[in-house]
Structures are given as C-alpha cells and as structure tokens.
A and B are shown apart, each in its own frame.
Chain A
Amino acid sequence: MIGSLEAATHIAARVAARPAALAALVFLGALTLLATFAGALGLDPLEQDIVRMLEGPSRDYPFGTDELGRDILARVIFGARTSLATAAGAVLLAAAIGVPIGLVAGFFGGWRDAVLMRVVDLLLALPGIMMALALIAVLGRSQAAALVAVGITGVPTFARVARAQVLSLRRRDFVTAVEAFGATSSYSMFRTILPNSWSPILTQMVVLSSVAILLEAALSFLGVGIPPPTPSWGEMLRTGKEYLHDAPTFAVLPGLALTLTILAFDTLGRALSTVLEGRDTVVPARGNQP
C-alpha cells in the first residue's frame, strides 16, 4: 500500500513538472471543487428572475441571465457537475465492460477472441453519436440514458487496450509462473494481469473523459441529452445560439467551459501517457556506428 502511494506521488510529481499538464490539473481541480461545493456558494441554477431575462453582465449576474432569467454563471457551475459526473460515470462504465472483454479475449484467444473482438469492431465501426442517439431512442431521455449511451461508445477502446496488455504481459514469466502454481484463469486475468495494466487503462480513462464530455454536450445540444431543467453545457449552448443577437454573452461562458475542460483532459491524458509509458525518457545516444 505504501509502495502504491509512493508510486502515485512520484507519477503526480512527474506530471506536474510539465507546465501545460500542471495548468490542466489545476483547472480540473478547481472545476471539480466548484462543482462539488456549488450549492454552498449560494448559487441557484433554477431560480428565475422573470423581470431580468436575457440580461447582459451586471453586478448581480456577472455573466448575465438566460431566457428564463436564470443566472448563467450558476448554471455553468452546476453544468460542470452534470458534465463531470456523466463523463466519470460513462468512463467507469466503459472500463467496467470493456476491460473484462479485452482480458477474456486476449487471455483465451481462439473463438472467444474472434467473437468478442468482432463485436468490439462492430461498435467501433458505428459513429459514436449515431449509436448514442439510437440507445437514447430506446432508453428514453434521462441523465442515466446519456451516461449509458456515452459509456457504451467507450467500450471498444478499453477492450482493445486490455487485450493488448494481456498479449504483452502473457509473455512475461511472472504470468506464466502464476499458471505454473496452478492458478485459475480468472486469478491470472484479474489478480495478476489486471493490476499490472493499470497505467494504460488510467491513461485511457483520462483521455476518454474529454471524449465523453464532448459527446454528452453534443447529445444535449441536439436536445436528446440530459432533460431540462437540469443545467448542462450542451443544453445552454443549444438555447444560447437562439439568442446570439439579443444576448451574445449567453453562449460564451458554457462554450468556454466546455472547450477548456476538454482541452485540460486531453493535455493531462497526453502527459500521463508520456510519463507512464516512459516516452519521455531520454534514450542515450550511442553515436554512429563506425
């Protein structure tokens, strides 16, 4: 346990040593804090101020109000809660389904591999947004449906990452060793291979978070995502674009929040992959061969 904590601190330190990654980390941390304690700030995303609809920035409403007289700043902050929670749920769901698929396919090979990976390829071949729309059509419009729809589109990625890990780790002696002791297949897969695969899986989780946030926003923008009145960035963009003339500041804040969040997850994902997969280690130049 102490060892893992040490390793985590070490990795965090190396990620934080990169200025862009540090900025991303600070931004996401602040956003998460804001989203978590949004209620305690005395902001209310649902309270309507009917006389002050579609107002520009003012002392009471620093980013103005929307078409129902609601505080845009409050809605963006509560929207972060929706976005982050949906994305986190979707990514966890994708990993929970995709990783076991990849482990089983890679570990047993043969027909299990062929069947499972064909299904995964099929999922991959369908555009994510199309599949999400189809799923919502079946499940109905709710936050849970959006979460499931976004999560399913992430399954192939985790399946592939996990399968690649199995294939490379199976050649390592410590995996063969466990088999030689008489371990069951599930022990080999879940107790030996999986714990040694955490780094690429973690990296994928961070990278996919940005995709999930974008997809959730897209669904809301199309009007099939999280149902109103729950604040959501995609929903705000959708409504805001109707009032671009009357209240140009309406769509600016949600758009900015969305862009920055996606950028932050992406930057962090890249930094993690460099640090964890050792792509930043300097290969000592051996010079030219004589």
Chain B
Amino acid sequence: MQQTADRTVAGQSADPVLSIRSLSVTFVGSGKPIPAVRGVDLDVFENEVLGIVGESGSGKSVTALAAAGLLPGSARIEGSIVLAGRNVVTADADDLRRMRGQDIGVVFQDPSTTLNPLLPVGRQIVEGEVAHGRLAPVAGHARAVELLREVDIADPENRARQFPFQFSGGMRQRAVIAMAMAGRPKVIIADEPTTALDVTVQAQVLALLALRQKETGAAVVLITHDLGVVAEVAHRVAVMYGGRIVETGAVRDIFAHPRHPYTAALLRSAPRIDVTGDRLDPIPGQPPTPTDMPAGCAFHPRCAVSAGRERCRTEAPPLRPVGAQIAACHFAEETTVASAGIPASARTPL
C-alpha cells in the first residue's frame, strides 16, 4: 500500500534507486540503548529531490547516514536499505567503499571539517575516482578543474591547486558538492548542506545543488530543519518525528494541506517573512528524546488533535493514505486546512 502511495505521489514508473524498508537504528553504548530510528520506509527515485525535515532527535540524519553506510559500529541496524540493487545493511566494507562515489555521494553540514586541510582541494575532489581506478592520476588535475567549473567556482585552474583554508565557506561547500558528484552517483545525501552558510550564500548553494541535480538526473536526499529550504528545492518531503516518518507526499500537497497534526503545527509555529501575524502559534512542550519516547503516537503529548484520546496514548498509528499524501495519525481527517496550515486570517500579503 505504501509502495503504491509513494509512487502515485512521485509520479514515477521506474524502480526506486534507494529503497528503505522497516529501518530501525539503535545505538548501543555503555548506557541505555538509544533507539534513534524506529521503523522507517522510504523510496527515492531518479531525478527527484526528497526533503527529510524534522527537529533534533527526529532521526533524520541517522536515517540518511544509514543509507550511506556511514553509521558507527555502535549502531545496530535492522531492516533493509537497497541502493541500486544492493543491500547496504549487509554489505561488507569493500562493497561499501565501491558503492560510495559510484552509487552514493554525501554532502555534510560543515564543509570545513569535510575537507582535509592538508591537501589541495583539486586533489581531494578527484581522490575517490582515482582510488577506485576510474581515473588515471595524471588526469586528476584536468578532471578537478572541470568539476570545479561545474560548480561555478571562478578561476578553477588555480583554485584546484589551493588549500581549503584559502576557500570561503560557500566555496568549500561547492567543492564538497563537486566531490560528492564527481563519480556521478545515483543518490546524493545532503545533510543540512546550507545550515552553516549565510542566507545569501545559501541561496547560491541551493540553486547550484538543484541545477546539478537536474543536469545529472541524480536523486538528492536533502536533510534539513528549514521548511523554507524544502519548499523551494524539494519535490517530495518526508516529515520525521520521534524516529518515524509521520507524513510524506508531494511538497505542494503537504504544505498546502498538512494531514498530520505535527506537520500542521510545525508550519504554523515558524515565523514567516511573507505573512504578518500577531502572535506565533508554538507547539507546546519539547521534542522527545530517543531514550524517553512517549508510548503510542510519539507526538500525542504535544498534539492538539489528540487531546487526551486513549487511542493516541496506546496505539502507534501506521502510515496510511490521507488525501493526496500519506500520514501516520489516527485522526488525520480532523487535521483540516482550517485547523492547520496557515490560518486564512494571517494570509495578509506584505
């Protein structure tokens, strides 16, 4: 059912390039086990940007890192993650290494820690291809220049020879994008790629990411806490809360008619530059921590729709089609445009 719903939304006929089924990730360390992801199903298709939004502790980054096979040894992973026909969960270290660069590329939040400060930028961005034997070392510089040019870095000839500290923050993130895309991977995971950047630079980097995605036809999984970024760049969105997906569908549908009370409340709580409202409408309480997850629906203690209903406290709602999207709420039908989304009264133009 989920499969069909997802496909309808995405309007794709091909198989997904990344398919996650019943993914659970638990971190086991010295203390209590920490269940960071608690049953996630997700499909990502070619030629689309899927946004994953959520607050801290929602499991959005852990889900993405699991897909890239980048979780530390203390993570216990259950379920399956199939990337271009191969299961990431059961793959060994050699397989994973081969998949990175070829099947999957990663862009992290902080470009200054992603790049090795002691290597010229040009050498770093082709390092993967050289290491995988897809590029002769002598051709490295020429390829690096080409890649830097593709991400709009001026004077790529000289820039390729420079070190990361000679790059500005935005340029470093472009270099990281060039590096992630060097092997033409089928899926690019971008984990808060613009959070560390200024707003004018963020606009440049997002435009670049969207452009490169269109040119290469890759699938991009964009993890962010910024609803505005998702609205502008993504085609589909998955909203995560408490280690689960609570709502997923086309960006347009979800932002116009959120069906899960959390999505609706999140949209209502953020101040907006394009509307003038008197007072913000916050979500009461705190996001749950993985070690202290409420029973039943994880959102029920903060939910206006739940309001002490027995079912929300005891029974975890499954994802099911509601309207044009799918949502995990027992009472999703009650979350209407009037009770959620942007109140009509606040829709005063500038």
Let me know if A4 is at the binding interface, CB within 8 A. no
> Across the interface, do B100 and A288 meet the contact criterion of CB distance under 8 Å?
yes
Let me know if A287 is at the binding interface, CB within 8 A. yes
Question: Per-residue CB proximity of A266-290 to B under 8 Å, as 1/0?
Answer: 0000000000000000101111111
Let me know if B106 is at the binding interface, CB within 8 A. yes
* Cα distance A212–B101 in the bound complex, in angstroms: 57
Binds A, one of B69-77, B312-320, B322-330: B69-77
What is the distance, in angstroms, from A273's C-beta to the closest C-beta of chain B?
19
Write out the residue numbers on chain B whose beta carbons fall within 8 Å of the beta carbon of A286: 70, 72
* Cα distance A290–B72 in the bound complex, in angstroms: 15
Write out the residue numbers on chain A whose beta carbons fall within 8 Å of the beta carbon of B72: 284-286
Q: Which of B204-244 contact A (CB under 8 A)?
A: none
The listed residue (B69, B73, B96, B114) touching A289 by CB distance below 8 A is B114
> Across the interface, do A288 and B114 meet the contact criterion of CB distance under 8 Å?
no
What is the distance, in angstroms, from A279's C-beta to the closest C-beta of chain B?
16
What is the distance, in angstroms, from A286's C-beta to the closest C-beta of chain B?
6
Let me know if B180 is at the binding interface, CB within 8 A. yes
What is the distance, in angstroms, from B171's C-beta to the closest C-beta of chain A?
18
What is the distance, in angstroms, from B127's C-beta to the closest C-beta of chain A?
8
> Across the interface, do B104 and A290 meet the contact criterion of CB distance under 8 Å?
yes
Q: Which of A141-156 contact B (CB under 8 A)?
A: none
The listed residue (B70, B128, B180, B185) touching A287 by CB distance below 8 A is B70
Let me know if B97 is at the binding interface, CB within 8 A. yes
Write out the residue numbers on chain B whose beta carbons fall within 8 Å of the beta carbon of A282: 74
Let me know if B183 is at the binding interface, CB within 8 A. yes
> Across the interface, do A287 and B73 meet the contact criterion of CB distance under 8 Å?
no
Write out the residue numbers on chain A whose beta carbons fall within 8 Å of the beta carbon of B69: 287
Write out the residue numbers on chain B whose beta carbons fall within 8 Å of the beta carbon of A290: 68, 100-101, 104-106, 128, 179-180, 183, 185
What is the distance, in angstroms, from A248's C-beta to the closest C-beta of chain B?
50
Write the chain A residue with the least CB distance to B75: A284
Write the chain A residue with the least CB distance to B114: A289
Of A282, A284, A287, A290, which is in contact with the most chain B CB atoms at under 10 Å from its CB? A290
> Across the interface, do A285 and B128 meet the contact criterion of CB distance under 8 Å?
no
What is the distance, in angstroms, from A53's C-beta to the closest C-beta of chain B?
58
> Across the interface, do A285 and B73 meet the contact criterion of CB distance under 8 Å?
yes
What is the distance, in angstroms, from A16's C-beta to the closest C-beta of chain B?
15
> Across the interface, do B97 and A288 meet the contact criterion of CB distance under 8 Å?
yes
Question: Per-residue CB proximity of B93-121 to A under 8 Å, as 1/0?
Answer: 00011001100111000000010000000
Write the chain B residue with the least CB distance to A289: B114
* Cα distance A78–B87 in the bound complex, in angstroms: 69
What is the distance, in angstroms, from A187's C-beta to the closest C-beta of chain B?
33
What is the distance, in angstroms, from B124's C-beta to the closest C-beta of chain A?
8
What is the distance, in angstroms, from B118's C-beta to the closest C-beta of chain A?
14
Write out the residue numbers on chain B whose beta carbons fall within 8 Å of the beta carbon of A284: 72-74
With A284-B72, A290-B185 already in contact, 17 other A-B pairs whose C-beta atoms are closer than 8 Å: A282-B74, A285-B72, A286-B70, A286-B72, A287-B69, A287-B70, A288-B97, A288-B100, A289-B106, A289-B114, A289-B128, A290-B101, A290-B104, A290-B106, A290-B128, A290-B179, A290-B183
19 sample A-B contacts, Cβ–Cβ < 8 Å, listed by A number: A282-B74, A284-B72, A284-B73, A284-B74, A286-B70, A286-B72, A287-B69, A287-B70, A288-B97, A289-B106, A289-B114, A289-B128, A289-B179, A290-B104, A290-B105, A290-B106, A290-B128, A290-B180, A290-B183
Question: B residues engaging A (CB < 8 A)?
Answer: 68-70, 72-74, 96-97, 100-101, 104-106, 114, 128, 179-180, 183, 185
